[in-house]
Amino acid sequence: MAKPSARKALKPDADGIVRLAGGNPQIAKADGDAPVQAYIAAMPGWKSDLGRRLDALIVATVPDVEKAVRWNSPFYGAGQGWFVSFHVLTRYVKLTFFKGTALAPMPPGATAKSGEARWLDIYEDDVLDESQLTDWIRQAAAMPGWVP
């Protein structure tokens, strides 16, 4: 006999936002800038400032970028699929390049399961190398992206 699910229903916090593990805001799947901005605004603490900074850097590098929220994360595409996304975790924000193995130099994060994806974990006190990020964004946007 199957056991009933032990999952608790998530409840909104004082700001009316449902947060998943690590404080990741639960934002409904949707296309466009508005849901991405809602996600960024709901990112907890210093992570919201980082989200605005990443979003601005992506838009400055790829002015016609397409945006959406998928799997409770902002996704960015350039007409050929998604090329980058970020996600809130407890102590950091993970910036993922879906075709990261094709970037030069490759972003540092990788596991055996990640396939082509590579990422950069950004912690609160990290100093961002915006020149390197811009170069990765430019490279990633120029190649066919990930299509789920």
Least confident range from 9-23, 29-43, 51-65, 118-132: namely 9-23
Q: Which two tokens stand for residue 91?
A: 């102590």
**Rounded distance, CA 93 to CA 88, Å?**
5
Break the chain into its structural domains and give their ranges. Answer: 21-142
Q: How far is CA 132 from CA 1, 43, 120, 127, in A?
A: 54, 24, 11, 12
Task: Name the region of 115 (left: φ>0; alpha: ψ -120 to 50; beta: rest).
Answer: left
**Rounded distance, CA 19 to CA 39, Å?**
11
E strands, the chain, are 30-31, 66-70, 73-77, 82-88, 92-97, 118-123
Q: Which two tokens stand for residue 127?
A: 């100093």
* Architecture label for domain 21-142: Alpha-Beta Complex (3.90)
Whole-number pLDDT of residue 1: 47
Q: How far is CA 147 from CA 48, 70, 75, 99, in A?
A: 27, 12, 11, 11
**Rounded distance, CA 3 to CA 18, Å?**
26
Q: What is the pTM of this model?
A: 0.86
Q: Which two tokens stand for residue 88?
A: 């809130």
Q: Which two tokens stand for residue 110?
A: 């990788």
Whole-number pLDDT of residue 110: 77
pLDDT, tens only, 21-45 = 666 687 889 999 999 999 999 999 9
